[in-house]
Amino acid sequence: MTAAPGIGTDTGLAPALADDLAAAALALARRFAAGATLWCLAPAWAPHAQHVAVEFVHPVVVGARALPAVALVDRDLVGTARLSVRSGDVVLAVADAADREIRDITRRAPAWGATTIWIGHGERPPAGAADHVLWHDDPDPALPATGGFVLLYHLLWELTHVCFEHPGLLTVDGDCTDEVCVTCSDEGRVVEVIEQRGVSSALVRTPDGQEEVAVDLVGAVARDDLLLVHAGMALRVLGEGDS
Number of domains into which the chain is organized: 2
**How many residues comprise the chain?**
243
Which of 113, 147, 170 is the last residue in one of the domains?
170
153 and 107 part of one domain: yes
Which of 144, 170, 196 is the last residue in one of the domains?
170
The model's confidence at residue 175, banded by pLDDT at 50, 70 and 90, is low
Average pLDDT, the chain: 89
pLDDT single digits (tens) 84-127: 999 999 999 999 999 999 999 999 999 999 999 999 999 999 99
210 and 118 part of one domain: no
144 and 226 part of one domain: no
Q: Is residue 175 part of a domain?
A: no
| Interatomic CA distance for residues 238 and 211, integer angstroms | 18
188 and 132 part of one domain: no
| Interatomic CA distance for residues 134 and 97, integer angstroms | 12
Q: Is residue 6 part of a domain?
A: no
Measure CA of the first residue to CA of the last residue in the chain; give whole Å. 28
What CATH number is attached to the domain comprising 219?
Answer: 2.30.30.140
104 and 187 part of one domain: no
Beta bridge pairs of residue 38: 69, 90
36 and 104 part of one domain: yes
Q: Which amino acid is present at 30? A: R
120 and 209 part of one domain: no
Is the pLDDT assigned to residue 4 strictly greater than 50? no
127 and 191 part of one domain: no
Q: Is residue 24 part of a domain?
A: yes
Q: Are 79 and 110 in contact (CB under 8 A)?
A: no
| Interatomic CA distance for residues 215 and 201, integer angstroms | 5
Torsion angle of the four alpha carbons 158, 161, 165, 168, in this order, in degrees rounded to the nearest 10 = 120
Q: Is residue 98 part of a domain?
A: yes
Q: Are 65 and 88 in contact (CB under 8 A)?
A: no
77 and 22 part of one domain: yes
Phi/psi at 133 (nearest 5 deg)?
-115, 120
Please, what sign has the CA dihedral across residues 99, 104, 108, 113? Answer: negative
For the sheet containing 132-136, what is the strand order?
Answer: 69-72, 38-41, 90-94, 115-121, 132-136
| Interatomic CA distance for residues 38 and 137, integer angstroms | 25
Quote the domain boundaries for residue 162: 15-170
The model's confidence at residue 179, banded by pLDDT at 50, 70 and 90, is very low
- Going from the C-alpha of 24 to that of each of 5, 198, 220, the distances in angstroms are 18, 42, 38
144 and 203 part of one domain: no
The pTM of the full predicted model, rounded to 2 decimals, is 0.88
Which of 170, 191, 211 is the last residue in one of the domains?
170
Q: Is residue 176 part of a domain?
A: no
Is the pLDDT assigned to residue 21 strictly greater than 60? yes
What CATH number is attached to the domain comprising 129?
Answer: 3.40.50.10490
Q: Is residue 8 part of a domain?
A: no
